Homo-oligomer: A and B are copies of this chain.
Amino acid sequence: MRHSLIASLFALLSLGAGAARAQDALRDQAKGLFEPIPKTAPALADNPATPEKLALGKMLYFEPRLSDSRTFACATCHNLSMGGVDGGALSSGAAQLAGREVQTVFNAVFNKSQYWDGRAGDLKDQVVNSVMANPKAMLKTRGGPMAINPSELAATKQREIEQLRTISGYGDLFKKAFPGEAEPLVYDNIGRAIAVFEATLITPDAPFDRWLTGDDAALSDDQKAGLKLFIDKGCSGCHNGVNVGGKSYAKFGVIANPGPEHLPAEDAGRYAVTKNIADRYVFKVPSLRNVELTAPYFHTGSTFDLGKAVNVMAESQLGVKLSDDETTKIVAFLKSLTGKQPEIMLPILPPRER
């Protein structure tokens, strides 16, 4: 009996050592695929983040008077209380209108491009492209800019500048944020300032990142098993890098068509940007950072169920049918991608005078 006890202890110890080795191997593999979100905001090319520009950018992000109706700010749809999205506020009926689900502003600075179709190269371009048209247009056309013709876009940019000029407090703030410019209150500078603020909207310290950098206890066993499945089944083929996605484009339905609920025929994705038939139904691979906070899923916002979204992706992109247990573990892993949400003190905006 004493011998068998010692044998059991040895077995347990070697099991522990085996698990530790397996975890180290998984971490090595993961380090080759992913990177943690950095703790500090990255610098933007040709757009240094001075304190004045950052403060102005934050104000403009919360500024409803940038919209024609003076009601919608960046923060309305990219809500910093709600994972940087609108929680599917308008997703019902989105598909019919060729509109698309809002993408999160959190960690967007790490994406290769902006929008589901990548039509904006960086954050500043996204802002400059963005149109906060009148609320009716916003409510009818989830796609925003895509659904609005270029002349309307131009007119609205001009209106935004005119509206900001009714708030004399902004004059000085633009001068200080863009020193030495003869006319700093221009549309491009709105984009630059907001981009600098948006670059600070990053979510470090997710359990996955803590695990990746050596904290063994940061992930549960289910989450580690989910990570292994995420890699082994092929999810990480596209969803990799610092944002676990966001760095490439892929056809939705490469193996099997996910059906019109998730992929309606009328929204051909990146094709609208490139006019290349190879880009029909190609979309930017979304980041999975904070994915538990950013339902509903897909460009159509067609499901709030993360497990269902995982299954649709496995079947349509990889030709894989996951077991319930596998889905549960992958979802557990995905929930480990929720980082520390930015702490945002509301800015005080200057009053409008006319």
Contacts and interface: CB of A to CB of B under 8 A. Distances in A.
Interface of A: 59, 62, 64-65, 69-71, 76, 79-83, 86-90, 135-136, 139, 292-295, 304-305, 341, 343-349, 351-354
Contacts of A353: 295, 304-305
Contacts of A81: 59, 62, 346-349
Contact of A90 (B71, B343, B345): B71
Contacts of A347: 81
Contacts of A89: 64-65, 69-71
A223 B139 CA distance: 46
A87 B65 contact: yes
Q: So how many copies of this chain end up in the complex?
A: 2
Given A70-B87, A295-B352, A304-B353, 4 more contacts: A64-B86, A71-B76, A81-B347, A343-B345
B344 A346 contact: yes
A86 B71 contact: yes
11 contacts: A59-B81, A65-B87, A69-B139, A81-B348, A82-B351, A88-B352, A135-B135, A295-B351, A304-B353, A343-B346, A344-B345
A139 B136 CA distance: 9
A305 to B, nearest CB: 8
B70 A304 contact: no
A139 to B, nearest CB: 6
Given A304-B354, A349-B82, A88 B70 contact: yes
Nearest to A293: B351
A278 to B, nearest CB: 35
B71 A346 contact: no
A251 B136 CA distance: 36
Contacts of A65: 87, 89
A162 to B, nearest CB: 14
A294 B293 CA distance: 35
A344 B80 CA distance: 13
Which of A71, A305, A345, A354 has the largest number of chain B CB atoms within 10 A? A71
Contacts of A305: 353-354
Contacts of A71: 76, 86, 89-90
Contacts of A76: 71, 76
A136 B139 CA distance: 9
A69 B90 contact: yes
A348 B88 CA distance: 16
